[in-house]
Amino acid sequence: MPKQEMVQLDGSEYMFGEHGGRGTTAPTFFKRLTSYGSKTHKHDDVKVVGASYSHADNMKKNKKKSSKDKEEDPSRRSGSYTDLDDDWDANVDNGLRNTQAVKCVENKVEGSERPDLIKRSSKDVYPSIRQISASNIKSQVFGILHDPSNSLNAVRGESDLSVNSTLSKSAPTDSIKLGKFKTVLAAPNVDIGELKKLAWSGIPLELRPLSWQLLLGYLPTNSDRRVDTLARKRQEYKDGVEHVFHKVALDQAMWHQIEIDVPRTNPHLKLYGFPATQRSLERILYLWAVRHPASGYVQGINDLVTPFFQTFLSAYIDEDVESCDPAQLPREVMDVVEADSFWCLSKLLEGIQDNYVHAQPGIQRQVAGLRDLTSRIDAKLAKHLESEQVEFMQFSFRWMNCLLMRELSVKNTIRMWDTYMAEGPNGFSEFHVYVCATFLVRWSAKLIHMEFQDIMIFLQSLPTKDWGEGEIELLLSEAFMWQSLFKNASAHLR
């Protein structure tokens, strides 16, 4: 039974992930890494296939294999109000080892069939761009890998717009909007203020990877500095992964929790059932946790990396990203997708790290802000919840911890994040509370006729499955209206 931590929040106890990783920050990157141990691993030769290889696979060589995965209904919620945080209950470990909503597709390839994918040394081997000829790889992949700004050359007009683009169905409007984005992004020095104005209403699918990296400050606005900066940051990520998995001992408790959480991340999407995806997420999450000992790994962060992973992967492929198997992509592509996802996740979490340190004070502030906003926007609903003894922490903890990702699809989350990034440093903290208040009030007509148990069941399984971009944009617009109305009385959100 994994050890769990109980934290007192708002008068009630809530269970979070095991070993929250509380500690003090050391002055340098590698000093922080070394603080987790200095034991050098001696790896035996093991046969590993493609991008599915994990640097920590050597930990598993003496473990018994789990029974064959079986497909099961993808529902993640228990249907009982007493199980408020079922997504983080480590007791489901054994069950999830044997069942998944999407059956994991193993890359069991014989050496004679795909010799380029077989591990021949202590490092994993991916297919090379020059070794692979895949129809799902964009023709401009070389240029985009080197400099994401080259993605601008791949989008020339209405005829180039993807059918999955976030733009509206009006071709002239699409073309005008696309042209505005290209003008801003192609400038020698990108005007972030102008980019934010455009991004608030949604970013075209083809330009989202570049736009996000600029909005988060990962890419320099000066185009002359981008190539060198990217090369340096990507190499730093590779060096960090090499260090934590090969030169120091793993934090077993932290790794165990990540190993539990990754397979149950977005189980309804095929992309996240592939071993290659899961190994990438494990490396990203573990390295981030080691670099941030004040919080360590906290359950819920596994959700937050997926919009980045999915968005950056889409920059290099022409197929539906949600069904793509990364093991079939070149190593160069997966290296940069993984590194860029890591750094952008780090940028996002810089602004909300109080949500993940001991006792999670950031979430406590957000929940208090949500309660206050709800009483201002819909006093009748607030009074009804109080009369039914519904604590806001009971249902909205997850909304803050996972940024509503358990309530909305990844595609809808990605669209929402366009606006969050456009809002600036407070987008994922203060503006998110206004979004949550708008989200809660949306269900007011139903909630005021429910009793406690029905309220809790309903709020744990909200009917958003069929939501599209229209519902998200309405949600964001209403949240902006409330923010504008209460902006002079927003001290409760700080």
| Residue with token string 């929250």 | 20
CATH 1.10.472.80 domain residues, the chain: 361-493
Burial of 210 from C-beta contacts in 10 A (0-12 / 13-18 / 19+): buried
* Distance of alpha carbon 10 from alpha carbon 360, whole angstroms: 11
* Main-chain phi, psi angles of 464, to 5 degrees: -110, 10
Q: Which CATH architecture fits 361-493?
A: Orthogonal Bundle (1.10)
**Tens place of pLDDT per residue across the chain (494 aa):** 444 444 444 444 334 344 443 333 333 333 334 444 434 443 433 333 333 444 445 444 444 444 344 444 444 433 333 433 444 343 333 333 333 433 333 333 333 332 332 232 334 444 455 544 456 888 889 899 999 999 998 775 443 444 344 444 456 678 899 999 999 999 999 999 999 999 999 999 999 999 999 999 999 999 999 999 999 999 999 999 999 999 899 999 999 999 999 999 999 999 999 999 999 999 999 999 999 999 999 999 999 999 999 999 999 999 999 999 999 999 999 999 999 999 999 999 999 999 999 999 999 999 999 999 999 999 999 999 999 999 999 999 999 999 999 999 999 999 999 999 999 999 999 999 999 999 999 999 999 999 999 999 999 999 999 999 999 999 999 999 999 999 766 555 55
Q: What is the pairing mode between strands 5-9 and 70-71?
A: unpaired
pTM equals 0.75
Contact 303, 405 (CB under 8 A): yes
* Distance of alpha carbon 13 from alpha carbon 169, whole angstroms: 48
22, 43, 56, 77, 295 from 298: Cα distances, Å: 11, 29, 19, 20, 7
